[in-house]
């Protein structure tokens, strides 16, 4: 990793019925994003993803898959996972950040999320099972 380039991990967590995705809300800035964060020096990306999920939401997601990379203001290694519809999330610092479940229509209507995050989420949204 070049010293001038920050690399982060982000994950789109979809409900198993494919009806919702979990995004993070940051109340101070009123922005939305994806769970995840910066990879520490010498840290493996998968380890960073697991650490960030524990730090932000106190959760473990055993079947997260790295799917692609994209750019926002930094290089993002994008992960996806499907979790039970009743998956319990417990934000560790709700005054700073917390998870919100959104439908496709709610995500489409959201104006304060990066277009790259929105594109990533929709590109990997699982099909609903009949």
Domains of the chain: 7-124 (3.90.79.10)
Share of the chain above pLDDT 70, in %: 95
- Whether this model's pTM surpasses 0.85: yes
pLDDT greater than 70 at residue 71: yes
103, 23, 47, 42: CA torsion to nearest 10: 140
The rounded mean pLDDT for the chain is 89
Q: What pLDDT is attached to residue 5? A: 59
Q: What pLDDT is attached to residue 129? A: 61
pLDDT greater than 60 at residue 91: yes
pLDDT greater than 90 at residue 73: no
User: What's the pLDDT tens digit per position in 34-53?
Assistant: 999 999 999 999 999 999 99
């Amino acid at each position: 990793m070049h010293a001038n380039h920050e690399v982060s991990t982000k994950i789109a967590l979809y409900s198993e019925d494919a009806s919702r995705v979990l995004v993070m809300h940051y109340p101070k800035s009123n922005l939305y994003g994806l769970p995840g964060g910066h990879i520490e020096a010498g840290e493996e990306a998968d380890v960073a993803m697991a650490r960030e999920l524990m730090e932000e939401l106190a959760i473990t997601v055993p079947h997260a898959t790295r799917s692609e990379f994209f750019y926002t203001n930094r290089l993002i290694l994008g992960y996806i996972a499907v979790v039970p519809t009743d998956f319990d999330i417990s934000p560790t610092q709700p005054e700073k950040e917390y998870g919100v479940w959104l439908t496709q229509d709610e995500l489409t209507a959201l104006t304060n999320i990066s277009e790259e995050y929105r594109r990533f989420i929709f590109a990997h949204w699982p099909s609903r099972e009949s």
